[in-house]
Amino acid sequence: SYPYIPILPAQLLEVLSSPTPFIIGVHSVFCSELHDLLDVIIADLDGGTIKIPECIHLSPLPEPLLHQAQTALSLVLHPDLEVADYAFPPLRTSLSHIKMLDKEVRAVFLRLFAQIFQGYRSCLQLIRIHAEPVIHFHKAAFLGQRGLIENDFLTKVLNGMAFAGFVSERGPPYRACDLFDELVSFEVERIKEEEKCDAQETLKRVKELAEQLFKNENPNPHMAFQKVPKPTEGSHLRVHILPFPNIKDPKVQELIQEAVHKNQNSAQTARLEKKCIVPAGSPVVSIVDKASTVFNSARRLEVVRNCISYIFENKILETEK
């Protein structure tokens, strides 16, 4: 995992020059000291701007996923733009609550990653030579079947540390499944059909997925917490404050036993993770239409040439890659 610092103290501004990826929050009073950073992307939360240095190249998402993600985010964040040009627009739609809005944005990206990694399980190789099984992901096969051999974005994603953790965590065939597994295995084709249909249907599905995310994070919405009032200012200076009473051990033990007995009798709200065989889902298919897919034969010849040269040089490990 990469470092995440919500607010960086002024004495530690030199940390911004570290060569590792990070997400660090800096107060706006130090903006003048950030201009010397050549390889840092600066997001101004107050002004709503992003500054990208010229030396950094950000690879875009492959089409049509980029357009679909932008459209879905616009439906969630600016629902009125979809019907702004209508002669007879429908009733005005308001933004969701801030808590649900966060879940809706996450739902959009969850659908996006489900489409990107569709069929990834068919490219997993489980090696049982060692005592602990090793899971290998066949990147070349995945990129080739997706028609994205030369796509810079997906290549960087597959070569990143985060994807290596993704493979090690979700690669085992028998584990506890979650919402992402359901989307990748059963819902990707439906998501593609929704993108071609009415935008309101897409927004409806996003809201349903956001509700599931909210329920997963808040399994007990009606749980009440005791609120202790905060002492007023100067309360410790009052003369009439009564001394704190002595704590009696038998009374404390009695209260503890009563609380333990109450918790044992109450219904268990914790969800038990049930392990099962992870569904393989749909096979790997090309993101773009087959009619518009153009393969670079020069790239293929280069791969074959390198493979043959590795064989003659007895570099078996490089050949297997």
Kindly tell me if the per-residue pLDDT of 276 is higher than 50.
Answer: yes
Torsion of CA 61, 63, 67, 69, to 10 degrees: -50
Question: Contact at 8 Å (CB) between 45 and 137?
Answer: no
Question: Contact at 8 Å (CB) between 116 and 68?
Answer: no
| β-bridge pairing 124-127 and 134-137 | antiparallel
Q: Residue 314: left (phi > 0), alpha (psi -120 to 50), or beta?
A: left
CA distance linking residue 120 with residue 62, whole number of Å: 17
Structure-model confidence comparison of residues 8 and 290, the more confident one = 8
Kindly tell me if the per-residue pLDDT of 295 is higher than 50.
Answer: no
Structure-model confidence comparison of residues 2 and 204, the more confident one = 204
Structure-model confidence comparison of residues 136 and 295, the more confident one = 136
pLDDT (tens digit, 9 = 90+) per residue, 174-183?
Answer: 888 888 888 8
Which residue shows structure tokens 């009125």? 80
CA distance linking residue 5 with residue 110, whole number of Å: 25
**Range 201-237 burial, b when 16+ CB lie within 10 A, else e:** ebbebbbebbeebbeeeeeeeeeeeeeeeeeeeeeee
Residues 14-21, mean pLDDT to the nearest whole number:
84
Kindly tell me if the per-residue pLDDT of 304 is higher than 70.
Answer: yes
The DSSP-derived string for 223-251 is: ---PPPPPPPTTGGG-SSPPPPPPPPHHH
- Quickly count: other Cβ atoms within 10 Å of residue 118's Cβ: 25
Kindly tell me if the per-residue pLDDT of 245 is higher than 70.
Answer: yes
Q: What is the pLDDT of residue 291?
A: 42
CA distance linking residue 73 with residue 78, whole number of Å: 8
pLDDT (tens digit, 9 = 90+) per residue, 30-79?
Answer: 887 777 777 888 888 888 888 888 888 888 888 888 888 888 888 888 87
Q: What are phi and psi of 50, to 5 degrees?
A: -130, 130
Widest pairwise Cα distance in the chain: 93
DSSP one-letter code for 130: S
Average pLDDT of the residues of the chain: 79
| β-bridge pairing 4-5 and 23-24 | parallel
Structure-model confidence comparison of residues 294 and 201, the more confident one = 201
Q: What is the pLDDT of residue 293?
A: 42
- Comparing 33-47, 87-101, 147-161, 210-224, which segment has the lowest mean pLDDT? 87-101
Residue 181 is encoded by which pair of tokens?
Answer: 């597994």
> The pTM is what?
0.66
SS3 for 93?
Answer: coil
- Quickly count: other Cβ atoms within 10 Å of residue 247's Cβ: 7
CA distance linking residue 139 with residue 157, whole number of Å: 10
CA distance linking residue 165 with residue 178, whole number of Å: 17
Q: What is the pLDDT of residue 109?
A: 92
∠ CA 49-50-56, nearest 5°, is: 165
Kindly tell me if the per-residue pLDDT of 17 is higher than 80.
Answer: yes
pLDDT (tens digit, 9 = 90+) per residue, 174-222?
Answer: 888 888 888 888 887 787 777 777 777 888 888 888 888 888 887 766 6
CA distance linking residue 125 with residue 112, whole number of Å: 24
Structure-model confidence comparison of residues 290 and 217, the more confident one = 217
